[in-house]
Structure 1
Amino acid sequence: MEATLTTAVKQRIRSIDTLRGIIMVIMALDHVRDFYTNVPFDPLDLSKTTPWLFLTRWITHFCAPTFVFLSGTSAFLSLSRRTNKNAAAGFLLRRGLWLLLLEFTIIEFGWTLDVGFHMLFAQVIWAIACSMLFLAFLIWLNLKPGTIAIIGLILIFGHNSLDSIKSSSLGHFQLVWLILHEQGFYQINQYEGAFLLYPIVPWIGVMAAGYGFGTFFKLEPHARQALFVKIGLGCLALFLVLRVFNIYGDPFPWEQQHVWWKNILAVIKCQKYPPSLLYLLMTLGISILALAGLEYTNNWLTRIFTVYGRVPFFYYVPHIYLVHVSQVIVALSLGFTVKQLQEAGMSVPKGWGFDLPVIYLIWIIIVFILYFPCRWFMKVKERRKDWWLSYL
């Protein structure tokens, strides 16, 4: 068993890289839709949406939970090489702080193109960074992976019991609760504000659970594949029982719709901000099944996805700029003014945008363009072991 673990941590697990690459590609679809859509309403609004529009948004729900979960798994596989727990915790601490810095500088500017940084958005990189800091603390405490996983599962399964607590009732502690468990806006001063899009609970639990999940890669591929199928199906079965009967796990119970297909969409429409238990059971259950399916899959398509999956952060930052800057260029070429775009912010300017076929075409073009620099950087990381490469 120990020899198997040693082999696993010395070699990248292809299924992890492939799945991570798939979700990075899907993630770009959501961001292209954000900037290029002509739809002025929430695609998940069942009173207005279409099945195709709903599913275009819904499929991207798998991105954040899968990436955070796999980040925990990758942390276990990577840090297993380090015999010194303090060194392992220190690496995660430094990486988490580094991501926080980038989230509110380079990444923030890519989203807003606002040199004054008047609005700070705490998004997925913020959640990943905070999760790394939390995981670093747990490792520093010298907790075993199984114990860390239990802490993560407690946060995942228990946090919806706190849904009734609202930041508006907490006075001076309002910001604390927005950071922890409630999406919302906080006015910093008369010039600046912050929007907490990703409250950190239960994201910190998702990464902790992923860290414990990494121990399953001690098993031989066939054994872990069978185990992943059982875990994935178990998550989906629990999701269906809790969701169909509206027992627990999401602050918004599904309601009967007047059209049959909307009933299906109502069941799978779960809260993302913060991610409810049912949201995580649904998305992670399917992702764990995907890990099982990818265990022995190796073809030209999976190898393409693996390129993105091996350099996710190198892909993430440029894709924001490519999507946003290209949107500005197209908008200006169509007669929109800079003022119109600034006033609209990240919403849809009046008269702007395209239907889904064009959205999908732009998405494919952007992902294709990014393949070549990502492939180059992947080769760089394979050839060189410079310390700074682990931060990109």
Structure 2
Amino acid sequence: MATPVIGLKTPDSQRIKSIDALRGLVMLLMLLDHVRERFFLHRQVSDPMDVESTEPALFASRLAAHFCAPIFVFLTGLSAWLYQQSARAESVSIFLLKRGLLLIVLEFTLVTFSWMGNFNTIYLQVIWVIGLSMLALALLVKMPRVAQWLLAVGIIALHNLLTPIQFSVDEWGYSLWTILHDRNYWIKTDWLAIKVSYPLLPWIGVILLGYCAGPLFAKQMFAARRTARLVGAGIGSLLLLLLLRGFNLYGETLPWQTFASPVQTLMSFFNFTKYPPSLDFLLLTLGVMALVLVWLERFNAARFVSVLSQFGAAPLFFYLLHLYVLLFIYTVFFAFYGANKGIYFGVDSIYSIWLISLLLALLLYWPTAMFAEYKCRSTYRWIKYL
């Protein structure tokens, strides 16, 4: 007989540990990528990456970071469904609208300043796109279930067909298309520049897909059935990826090529477009995500899952904290050593980036864990937003 849901929730809360652990895992990958952007910016990577000029270790670091945004957005939709099932007075649409607007404001203010130290250029990145996706989901939760599934899969599968559509800066559709699909400057003047780094449209499909997947984590769902569906979805996504990418059929603008080096050939195969995320990009990241969720649930009682879940239980707190810690560290080192890498201060090796990321993860664990515990106990509603 299949066993019902067990071991999903932590003993002192109603949070699902495997989901928090997955969120925590990708936040550590995000930390690695942001350390790279702070201290290895003199070795910038393109999108997709240049396989011939990008060393394998740097390619692997960037590829690992590709998992962050899709999983963040998917889990946001999944969490919205779980919120809807809880006994709360506030509707899920109102909650999504309020949270989405908050994230957009944070992107324009605290997040922008943490990166640039000023507001001359505003890069609208992952927090912005999660906020906009939540606003979209606030409307889409009213749709019939079948329509939600069709829309989510349709956006993810078909948005690559829109790639040839482009607008010049003086055309009427430029601003809207920049927000929806093309990574470009939304506003550019002598005193202000706003660049949309994360075009919105594909992420609406991802957040809606996460919302549709919510019933897998319902209290009445049997663990064996959830596992079977997640494994099926994960393996099915990866097999479809191998088919589409293997024959360069569809799903990625840049076809993979054979190089003299097997490593470079493998890099070429997994070199996907992130801005906006291609179908192949999402098949890889969401396919692996489904399998990792199963793995984390299986090891639910393990110490490492508990550690990861602490990072994932206070995601916005950790996000803002690590950005300002990185800004502080970079400012101090720049003041002492100056620009040793062109106009930047930086380190010589990607392996140094890995070491710095590990040290920062250890440093930030305790304040994040303390805040997560405080948030769980707190009766202040605004605390829950962090």
Q: One fold, TM greater than 0.5?
A: yes
CA shift, 1:167, in A, is 2.5
8 Å Cα contact 2:17/2:306 also seen in 1: no
Instruction: Give the secondary-structure state (helix, strand or coil) at the position aligned to 2:66.
Output: helix
Alignment-derived partner of residue 50 in structure 1: 55
Residue 184 (structure 1) shift = 1.1
Taking the aligned partners of 1:289 and 1:281, their CA distance within structure 2 comes to 12
Q: How far apart in 2 are the matches of 1:279 and 1:334?
A: 39
Q: Secondary structure of 1:273's match?
A: coil
For residues 112 and 87 of structure 1, the distance between their equivalents in structure 2, rounded to whole angstroms, comes to 36
Report the equivalent of 1:124: 126
CA contact (8 A) 1:323 1:366 kept: no
How far the C-alpha of 1:168 sits from its partner, in A, is 1.7
Using the alignment, how far apart are the partners of 1:149 and 1:128 within structure 2?
A: 19
- TM-superposition CA deviations, 1:3-59 (whole Å, max 9, x none): x79x98983221111110000011000010111116534273211122112101111
User: What are structure 1's unaligned runs of at least 5 residues?
Assistant: 341-346
What's the counterpart of residue 208 of structure 2? 208
Residue 28 of structure 2 aligns to a residue whose secondary structure is helix
> 1:272 corresponds to which residue?
274
1:101-116, aligned counterparts within 5 Å?
101-114=105-118
Cα 1:206–1:348, aligned 2, differ >3 Å: closer, same or farther?
farther
- Summarize the Cα distance change of 1:203–1:348 in structure 2 as closer, same or farther, 3 Å threshold: farther
Conserved in 2, the CA contact under 8 Å of 1:150 and 1:209? Answer: no
The alignment partner of 2:256 has SS state of: coil
Alignment CA distance shift 1:352-1:25 (3 Å): closer
**Residue 223 of structure 1: which of 222, 225, 232 is its match?**
225
Does the Cα contact within 8 Å between 1:149 and 1:213 map onto a contact in 2? no
Quote the offset at 1:272 in angstroms.
0.2
Corresponding residue for 1:21?
24
Correspondence for 2:156: 156
Q: For residues 261 and 342 of structure 2, what CA distance do their matches in structure 1 show? A: 29
RMSD: 2.2
Secondary structure of the structure 2 residue equivalent to 1:167: coil
Q: Which residue of 2 aligns with 1:288?
A: 290
Alignment of 1:290-369 (within 5 A): 290-297=292-299, 298-336=301-339, 349=343, 352-369=346-363
**Using the alignment, how far apart are the partners of 1:149 and 1:301 within structure 2?**
34
Give me the whole-angstrom Cα distance separating, in 2, the residues matched to 1:348 and 1:274: 30
Counterpart AA for 1:128: I
Q: Deviations over 1:154-185 (max 9, x none)?
A: 11111001000112277022111010001112
8 Å CA contact 1:72–1:211 kept in 2: the answer is yes
1:335 to partner: Cα distance: 3.4
Deviation larger for 168-177 or 118-127: 168-177
Identify the residue that residue 73 of structure 1 maps to in structure 2.
Answer: 78
Mean alpha-carbon deviation: is it higher for 176-185 or for 35-44?
35-44
Choose which of 258, 262, 265 in structure 2 pairs with 1:263. 265
Unaligned runs of 5+ in 2: none
1:383 to 346, 356, 377: 377
From 136, 139, 145, the equivalent of 1:137 is 139
Q: Distance in 1 between matches of 2:308 and 2:284?
A: 23
Question: CA 1:131 to 1:275, structure 2 compared with 1: closer, same or farther past 3 Å?
Answer: same
Q: What TM-score comes out, normalization by structure 1 length?
A: 0.90
| SS of the residue 2:325 aligns to | helix
Contact 1:108 1:120 (C-alpha < 8 Å) held by counterparts: yes
- Supply the distance in 1 between the matched residues of 2:140 and 2:61 (Cα, whole angstroms): 37
Deviations 1:188-231 (A, max 9, x none): 43211111100001011100000001111232122211211111
Ranges of 4+ aligned residues in structure 1 off by more than 6 Å: 7-10
Q: Which has the higher helix share?
A: 1
Q: SS state of the match for residue 106, structure 1?
A: helix
Aligned-residue identity in percent: 35
CA-CA distance at 1:350 after TM superposition? 5.9
Alpha-carbon separation, structure 2, partners of 1:217 and 1:351:
46
Output the TM-score relative to the length of structure 2. 0.91
What is the rounded CA distance, in whole Å, between the counterparts of 1:174 and 1:354 in structure 2? 40
Letter in 1 for 2:376: E
Equivalent-residue separation in structure 2 for 1:380 and 1:309 (angstroms): 14
Between the two proteins, the alignment pairs up a number of residues equal to 374
Deviation at 1:112, TM superposition (A): 0.4
Instruction: Give the Å deviation of 1:251.
Output: 1.5
